[in-house]
Chain A
Amino acid sequence: MTKLDSKIPAGPLAEKWTNYKAHQNLVNPANKRKIDVIVVGTGLAGGAAAASLSELGFNVKVFCIQDSPRRAHSIAAQGGINAAKNYPNDGDSIYRLFYDTVKGGDYRAREANVYRLAEVSNNIIDQCVAQGVPFAREYGGLLDNRSFGGALVSRTFYARGQTGQQLLLGAYSALSKEINNGSVEMYTRREMMDVVKIDGKARGIIVRDLVTGKLERYGAHAVLLATGGYGNVFFLSTNAMTSNGSAAWKAYKRGAFFGDPSFVQIHPTCIPVHGDYQSKLTLMSESLRNDGRIWVPKKKEDAEAIQKGTLSPVNIPEEDRDYYLERRYPAFGNLVPRDVASRAAKERCDEGYGVGNTGLAVYLDFKDAINRLGKNVIEARYGNLFQMYEKIVDENPYQTPMMIYPAIHYTMGGIWVDYELQSTVPGLFVGGEANFSDHGANRLGASALMQGLSDGYFVLPYTMQNYLADQIGIPHFPTDTPEFNETEKDVQDTIDKLFAVKGNTSVDTFHKKLGLIMWDFVGMARNKEGLEKAIVEIQGLRKEFWQNVSVPGEQTGMNVELEKALRVADFLELGELMARDALNRNESCGGHFRDEYKTEEGEAMRDDSNFMFVSAWEYKGVDKEPVLHKEPLIYENIEVKQRNYKTA
């Protein structure tokens, strides 16, 4: 049995990373030219790592699913990126950013990793500015900061509402520079189908060219997956349409353990679902909660009248409105963390107080803020978001309150990695949202961009080099070996099997059904009975999928339905593991809320004596139960407390 070794360097917390770098193995410049590295994904983590590894002198092959590396879903991040610069002189420090991140994650993240993240956060801002990322500035010419949830300081750097876009374009520009230098080979419209192992080590990948439909083989000394999260297992999420969990899932099936699969972030402020044809959900930035007040009607009959369309919210008098976040959490009010705000909205809607024609929405009302500050101020702060809302919903949020509802946004879980971001498969590294590492059970706002770039620019170029240092005797890997033959055959067999079904139900139909099971039982509130039911239903749906899915078209050439079918086939397995993990974790923490484990007031109740560990699941074969390994979480530098948002 593989033993979990997190490889945390010895020594005091603040010196671990410095010590690691001081003692790690390096590869001399002449030898770097002889080493090949594969990077899958060109978001913040993948793009930054590919560029940095290439700058060091390695031969890098980069793969992305879109038509250009500039379009990875990191681009959609709006709010900002955290760093412990303490430019505003408001008391921030590396320790404080580390502390806030561990606490925000409800004490389910690894101390050493989070500390390193906080440590390199400052380098990220320096790097991005040097690249020409146009961050917001003050009139004095220096960088501007704003605040985000879960922090008492202003440490968020931003580029209007498009921070993710600007940071990604920065990484893309660095990558473009390396492509121009000839040390990066870029492969677009390619989807990774499987990892190839030789003598137990990751030595290559099989990809499908989405334009020609051909399977291709690529060998390398090491493979980095930076393929994002698996939020689309829920069908509806804020993720992009091609965001999927297949690369991570294939790695899992080849022996990489899956960490905390049930930890999913549900963002409280998204535009509600409007019809069964809907394809995705749109996020409204967390910043809106600074000035908007969240409410539902106090009287059930008012809520019902609104649902029928016979009553307008503007006609509900003040005394008949329930500002439930302000009522339940007087100290933090509308600015409680994402997991708490999401659950509170669901609770009200489940009780029948929801609004909109589906009853699955709550109001985010700017009336008081407009009265207090004037429409102009609100427009200056949130104009672009209000415009986006109006384009989608066709209602003027300056006049009628916005309707919002929680939606799947981010997966904290992912492939288990050690301190070096290496999975349990030697030579297989995982970065960004695709790994489980830094956010515990709940991610704070503006921390995803920080983690992606930290992994990509400042961690992986070191740790991968440490691994590659003893691989220099091995020449380029040929791909006409039995290992490549067998892995490609597995992929081809799966594709053949899908075409052989010749059923009459579309891929999306299965995906939507899976999404509903996941949302109902593995979503915002979970319980034993529901999770057990979900496992049975997912197994049933998976069986039905393989008997009845319809994949039209040919194997050769562009075939979007085949692409979707391959991804959904994996989601139908991944969803079950998520349910198993949630069922196993008999506590509530962060985004994982079990109805059975809550305080008398309905708040999440952790069980630190039994569950202060990372779940790392090992694949054991088709339709066999996976095996759970536990990585204990040890807090030596932080006092573990219950999160409290009722009093300051």
Chain B
Amino acid sequence: MDLKLKIWRQPGPDAEGKFVHYPVHNISKDASFLEMMDILNEELVANGEEPVAFDHDCREGICGMCSLYINGHPHGPDDSITTCQLHMRKFKDGETVVIEPWRAKPFPIIKDLMVDRTAFDEIIQAGGYVSINTGGVPDANAIPIKKENADLAMDAAACIGCGACVAACKNASAMLFVSAKVSQFALLPQGKVEAKRRVENMVAKMDDLGFGNCTNTYACEAECPKDISVANIARMNREFFVAKIS
């Protein structure tokens, strides 16, 4: 298939960016979206031009490195997958495909389609853990956990930290990301001891970093490649409220 690509190019963090048009030809419908980008980049290199910079790594939907805002959707038009799992058969021959980076103030652009998501790491550093050291812990089966809670904790823990929720949100809110981590620990006995300071510190950090507020549009859940539920946001709000009154 042939496609007309419209790609955001920006040489560096402070440089001005613009859309550049690139036609690509004879793309197999069985190629993945990133393989299509590889083909474009090979052509650019062959012409002595700089390839388009984009983040990617595992290419099997788990590392959370790939991003791309494709035709108005984080991770493109298909549901429940990351960009690296998106295949060209989801596009029509001759279609124009608009490819942009995540756009959110706390995710500054590094180059072209690459953004800096260090803000997510900073939020986790503020409290997304159980404060124990290596060694000296009880036997694993000494902490029985209700299966239903373990399963819900796993649903929340499945977040890959890609940032699609922020990119999807008109307020650039990180509530889905933060609540997924808060929920994982809220559902487990191991996380209860420091529940108050965890939620307070993580939410404060999220606000400090300039992420917006949640206005319940649920765009985050709709675009999340791992189907993280907005029920986690409700759980975080409850944790936050309890922390504030305790």
Q: Measuring CB to CB, which residues of chain A are less than 8 angstroms from any residue of chain B? A: 48, 51-52, 55, 66-71, 73, 75-76, 85, 87, 123, 125-132, 134-143, 159-160, 162, 164-166, 169, 172-174, 176-177, 179-180, 186, 188, 211, 238, 240-242, 274-275, 277-280, 282-283, 388, 391-394, 457-458, 461, 504, 506, 508, 550, 552-553, 557-558, 560-561
With A and B bound together, what is the CA distance between A67 and B162 in angstroms?
11
Chain B interface residue bracket vs A: 35 or more
CB-based contact B130/A391 at 8 Å: no
CB-based contact A242/B57 at 8 Å: yes
CB-based contact B184/A132 at 8 Å: yes
CB-based contact A131/B130 at 8 Å: yes
CB-based contact A135/B190 at 8 Å: no
CB-based contact B150/A134 at 8 Å: yes
B206 in the interface (beta carbon within 8 A): no
With A and B bound together, what is the CA distance between A282 and B58 in angstroms?
10
With A and B bound together, what is the CA distance between A173 and B202 in angstroms?
13
Say how far A593's CB is from chain B's closest CB, in angstroms. Answer: 27
CB-based contact B58/A130 at 8 Å: no
The 8 closest A-B pairs by CB, nearest first: A141-B144, A173-B129, A130-B137, A134-B154, A129-B140, A134-B153, A52-B134, A55-B133
List 7 A-B residue pairs with CB atoms under 8 Å apart, sorted by A's residue number: A76-B58, A127-B137, A135-B140, A238-B60, A241-B59, A508-B42, A553-B50
Which among A131, A238, A241, A242 is the interface contact of B129 at CB below 8 angstroms? A131
CB neighbours (8 Å) of B92 from chain A are none
Which among A76, A142, A275 is the interface contact of B62 at CB below 8 angstroms? A76
Which among B58, B81, B89 is the interface contact of A75 at CB below 8 angstroms? B58
Q: Measuring CB to CB, which residues of chain B are less than 8 angstroms from any residue of chain A? A: 11-12, 28, 30-32, 34-35, 38-39, 42, 45-46, 48-51, 53, 55-65, 78, 81, 85, 87, 89, 110-111, 114, 116-118, 120-121, 124-135, 137-141, 143-147, 150-151, 153-154, 157-158, 160-161, 184-185, 188, 190-191
Residue of A with least CB distance to B126: A180
With A and B bound together, what is the CA distance between A283 and B65 in angstroms?
18
Contact (A75, B63) CB under 8 Å given A391-B85, A552-B49, A552-B50: yes
CB-based contact A277/B39 at 8 Å: yes
CB-based contact B147/A137 at 8 Å: yes
Say how far B66's CB is from chain A's closest CB, in angstroms. Answer: 10
10 new A-B contacts, CB < 8 A, other than A76-B63, A557-B11, are A137-B147, A142-B141, A240-B58, A277-B28, A277-B38, A391-B81, A393-B30, A458-B134, A504-B46, A506-B42
CB-based contact B144/A142 at 8 Å: yes
Residue of B with least CB distance to A457: B134
Contact (A130, B11) CB under 8 Å given A68-B121, A274-B30: no
CB neighbours (8 Å) of A461 from chain B are 134
Which among A141, A188, A388, A557 is the interface contact of B146 at CB below 8 angstroms? A141
Which among A55, A67, A69, A76 is the interface contact of B116 at CB below 8 angstroms? A67
CB-based contact A75/B62 at 8 Å: yes
Contact (A136, B121) CB under 8 Å given A126-B138, A461-B134: no
With A and B bound together, what is the CA distance between A123 and B133 in angstroms?
13
CB-based contact B157/A134 at 8 Å: yes
CB neighbours (8 Å) of B62 from chain A are 75-76, 162, 164-165
CB neighbours (8 Å) of A506 from chain B are 42, 45-46
